[in-house]
A and B are shown apart, each in its own frame.
Chain A
């Protein structure tokens, strides 16, 4: 069974640009969560989707958005990039409706560098 796949693995963008990150969950998983990881802030929750509906959103500005498609694949978008958006973005999928109640499987992450 294939694991969670995140693309691209590495990305370099310029301030002011926008970026789209992709996450393909494990087959059969309908819940997808996104996290931002930085040395200073640690792992911060961004959003959680289940069956194409955003269930929860973390404390991030509106520049951060996401969506989930009918095949459970998810994308997140960051517009008007800032230097502080440089981070490892992690996606996790789980079988249950809520990630907190079941084991979450993480992708390898997308390393975004904003210059």
Chain B
């Protein structure tokens, strides 16, 4: 069973715009991770945010975590065509990592 749910399912933007993806989860967590997957390939780790953190940055990525609302968001600023991919949040359930359905981001040049 999946733990997180991403929203929206798909997002299409122009190069240079910002993209925001949201993740909601059901149970208490120790941390939450975001991953990117290019079409049909392996996942690449983006950011891990712990439950006692509210915000984390990595380059053009900004992740927020609101444990009271059981939600997280991933913001990609100044998007590029190379950011086109699926983005997944992952949380722990029964001590193993479970993924949401993902947001498919398309960045048009």
A35 to B102, CA, bound (A): 15
CB-CB under 8 A from A99, the residues of chain B are: 96-97
A25 to chain B: closest CB distance in Å? 13
Q: Which of B1-35 contact A (CB under 8 A)?
A: 1-2, 30-31, 33, 35
Whether the Cβ atoms of B30 and A108 lie closer than 8 Å is no
Q: Which of A100, A108, A109 contacts B97 (CB 8 A)?
A: A100
Q: Which of B2, B30, B40, B41 contacts A42 (CB 8 A)?
A: B2
User: In the complex where A42-B101, A42-B102, A100-B90 touch, is A109 in contact with B41 (Cβ < 8 A)?
Assistant: yes
A48 to B97, CA, bound (A): 9
A95 to B48, CA, bound (A): 14
CB-CB under 8 A from B70, the residues of chain A are: none
- Of B31, B44, B96, which is in contact with the most chain A CB atoms at under 10 Å from its CB? B96
Q: Which of A42, A56, A102, A108 contacts B42 (CB 8 A)?
A: A108
CB-based A-B contact count at 8 angstroms: 68
Whether the Cβ atoms of B41 and A105 lie closer than 8 Å is no
* B82 interface contact, C-beta 8 A: no
User: In the complex where A56-B94, A100-B92, A101-B31 touch, is A90 in contact with B2 (Cβ < 8 A)?
Assistant: no
CB-CB under 8 A from B44, the residues of chain A are: 106
Q: Which of B31-90 contact A (CB under 8 A)?
A: 31, 33, 35, 40-45, 48, 88, 90
Whether the Cβ atoms of B97 and A104 lie closer than 8 Å is yes
A99 to B35, CA, bound (A): 13
* A24 interface contact, C-beta 8 A: no
Whether the Cβ atoms of B42 and A107 lie closer than 8 Å is yes
22 examples of A-B residue contacts, CB within 8 angstroms: A42-B101, A42-B102, A43-B99, A45-B98, A45-B99, A48-B96, A55-B95, A56-B94, A56-B96, A58-B96, A88-B40, A90-B42, A90-B43, A100-B90, A100-B91, A101-B31, A101-B92, A104-B45, A106-B42, A108-B41, A109-B40, A109-B42
A residues apposed to B, CB below 8 Å: 4, 33, 35, 42-45, 48, 55-56, 58-59, 88, 90, 92, 98-109, 111
